[in-house]
């Protein structure tokens, strides 16, 4: 019995091998074909900004300034858009000691006004235009927008705490005096005491602007970066 069984198996194997050889010669079609190309080239994102005149009209920069800005922008991001990773990388080069990724994340969201995950040159220019050439009102608006992480019109203590921690992270570990655990929280408390007029635990845009306009230091420091370009 064993013999017969084995003989049958042997014969079966021979037949299978034969069929395979025939397949190779293309005489027998077997199996289904996968013709779908699985690999599609990643479309590289390229972005060309609006015309120079248009940007000049929309922002408060002169043509020359826009030229300088664009040259620097394109140098660092040849594809014309900045995604969050690149943004974080660029920003972290200015703060080698600490960890600036969280703050860069918030900043990215503040610049990316249409929330499409990338900052194009237009977003960049509009943001800078507000920051450098805008009125104090606009600047404060922008700052409020930065702090309001979920963009609901209110700054809560948690949001402020996140922002504060991100700022403190940028300093890194080697500071003097050594960073205490609750320093960000205390800073948030101070901030809320100053800003939250009706003590309801959140800061609205009006409270924010009003409190800032009363504060000499803040007003003065808003004018600080006028001549950055």
Partner 1 sequence: MAAGVAAWLPFARAAAIGWMPVANCPMPLAPTEKNKRQDELIILNVSGRRFQTWRTTLERYPDTLLGSTEKEFFFNEDTKEYFFDRDPEVFRCILNFYRTGKLHYPRYECISAYDEELAFYGILPEIIGDCCYEEYKDRKRENAERLMDDNDSENNQEGSMPSLSFRQTMWRAFENPHTSTLALVFYYVTGFFIAVSVITNVVETVPCGTVPGNKELPCGERYAVAFFCLDTACVMIFTVEYLLRLFAAPSRYRFIRSVMSIIDVVAIMPYYIGLVMTNNEDVSGAFVTLRVFRVFRIFKFSRHSQGLRILGYTLKSCASELGFLLFSLTMAIIIFATVMFYAEKGSSASKFTSIPASFWYTIVTMTTLGYGDMVPKTIAGKIFGSICSLSGVLVIALPVPVIVSNFSRIYHQNQRADKRRAQKKARLARIRVAKTGSSNAYLHSKRNGLLNEALELTGSTEDEQHMAKGTSLIESQHHHLLHCLEKTTGLSYLVDDPLLSVRTSTIKNHEFIDEQLFEQNCMESSMQNYPSSRSPSLSSHHGLTTSCCSRRNKKTTHLPNSSVPATRLRSMQELSTIHIQCSEQPSLTTSRSSLNMKSDDGLRPNCKTAQITTAIISIPTPPALTPEGENRPPPSSPGHSTNISTTTTSNIVKVSAL
Residue pair 124/111 in contact (Cβ under 8 Å)? The answer is yes
Residue pair 153/204 in contact (Cβ under 8 Å)? The answer is yes
Could you write out the DSSP letters of every residue in 86-147?
A: HHHHHHHTT--SS--HHHHHHHHHHH-TT-SSEEEHHHHHHHHHHHHHS-HHHHHHHHHHHH
Residue pair 164/156 in contact (Cβ under 8 Å)? The answer is no
Task: With contacts defined by CB under 8 A, name the span among 28-36, 44-52, 55-63, 189-197 that binds partner 1.
Answer: 189-197
Q: Which of residues 4-23 bind partner 1 (CB under 8 A)?
A: 6-7, 9-11, 13-14
Q: Which of residues 60-119 bind partner 1 (CB under 8 A)?
A: 68-69, 71-73, 75-76, 90-91, 93-97, 107, 110
Q: Find the shortest distance in angstroms from Cβ 223 to partner 1.
A: 10
Q: How far apart are CA 72 and CA 31, in angstroms?
A: 56
Q: Which of 42, 43, 51, 224 forms a contact with partner 1 (CB under 8 A)?
A: 224
Q: How far apart are CA 225 and CA 63, in angstroms?
A: 20
Q: Which of 62, 79, 135, 190 forms a contact with partner 1 (CB under 8 A)?
A: 190
Nearer to partner 1 by Cβ, of 13 and 52: the residue is: 13
Residue 181, interface with partner 1 (CB under 8 A)?
no
Q: Which of residues 146-165 bind partner 1 (CB under 8 A)?
A: 146-147, 163-164
Four-point Cα dihedral 210, 135, 55, 227, nearest 10: -130
Residue pair 89/106 in contact (Cβ under 8 Å)? The answer is no
Residues that bind partner 1 (CB under 8 A): 2-3, 6-7, 9-11, 13-14, 68-69, 71-73, 75-76, 90-91, 93-97, 107, 110, 124, 127-128, 131-132, 139-140, 142-143, 146-147, 163-164, 167-168, 170-179, 183, 187, 190-191, 195, 208, 212, 217-218, 220-222, 224-225, 227-229
């Amino acid at each position: 019995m064993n013999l017969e069984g084995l003989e049958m198996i042997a014969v079966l194997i021979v037949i299978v091998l034969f069929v395979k050889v025939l397949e190779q010669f293309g005489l027998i079609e077997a199996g289904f074909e996968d013709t779908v190309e699985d690999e599609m080239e990643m479309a590289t994102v390229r972005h060309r900004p609006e015309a120079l005149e248009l940007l000049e009209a929309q922002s408060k920069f002169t043509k020359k300034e826009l030229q300088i800005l664009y040259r620097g922008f394109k140098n660092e991001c040849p594809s014309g858009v900045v995604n969050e990773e690149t943004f974080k990388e660029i920003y972290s080069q200015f703060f080698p000691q600490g960890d600036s990724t969280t703050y860069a994340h918030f900043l990215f969201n503040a610049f990316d006004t249409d929330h499409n995950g990338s900052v194009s040159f237009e977003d960049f220019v509009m943001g800078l235009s507000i920051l450098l050439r805008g009125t104090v009102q606009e600047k404060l608006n922008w700052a409020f927008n930065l702090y309001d992480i979920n963009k609901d019109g209110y700054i809560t203590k948690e949001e402020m705490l996140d922002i504060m921690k991100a700022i403190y992270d940028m300093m890194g570990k080697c500071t003097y005096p050594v960073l205490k655990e609750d320093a960000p929280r205390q800073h948030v408390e101070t901030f809320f005491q100053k800003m939250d007029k009706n003590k309801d635990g959140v800061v609205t845009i009006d409270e924010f602007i009003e409190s800032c306009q009363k504060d000499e230091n803040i007003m003065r420091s808003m004018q600080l970066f006028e001549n950055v370009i």
